[in-house]
Amino acid sequence: MAGQQKNVFWLGANILVDTRNGDTKPVLMLVYREEDASAFTLEDALSYKFFFASHAEQLSQISWTIQKSSRRPGFFVIRGEQYV
C-alpha cells in the first residue's frame, strides 16, 4: 500500500490468568518484535488467527498471518500488519 505507514505487531500470550472455574487462560497482548512474541503449535496458532479474523480484524484493521518461528523450530508465531 504505497504512501501508507505500516505497523507490524506480533501476538504475545505471556500472562496466564486462573478463572473462577479453574481454567487457565492466556492474556493476549501485542508486542513489537518477533523475539517478544509467543511461539505456538500450528493448531493453537490457527485457533488464535481464526478468533481474530472472526472477532477483531474488522474493528482493528490488522491483518494476521501465521509464520514459522525463527527462534523456535517447529513452532509458529502470529504476525499482524496494519496500514495507517
Nearest-angstrom CA–CA distance, 46 and 65: 9
Confidence (pLDDT) at 69: 96
Q: Which domain holds residue 75?
A: 6-83
Residue 74 lies in a domain: yes
Mean pLDDT of 54-71: 81
Tally of domains in the chain:
1
Residue 25 lies in a domain: yes
Residue 27 lies in a domain: yes
Nearest-angstrom CA–CA distance, 57 and 1: 18
Give the position of cell 474493528.
Answer: 59
Sequence-ordered alpha helix ranges (H) in 1-84: 42-55, 57-60
Residue 1 lies in a domain: no
Render pLDDT for 67-76 as a digit per residue (tens, 0 to 9).
999 999 999 9
User: With contact defined as beta carbons under 8 Å apart, do 66 and 45 qualify?
Assistant: yes
Residue 36 lies in a domain: yes
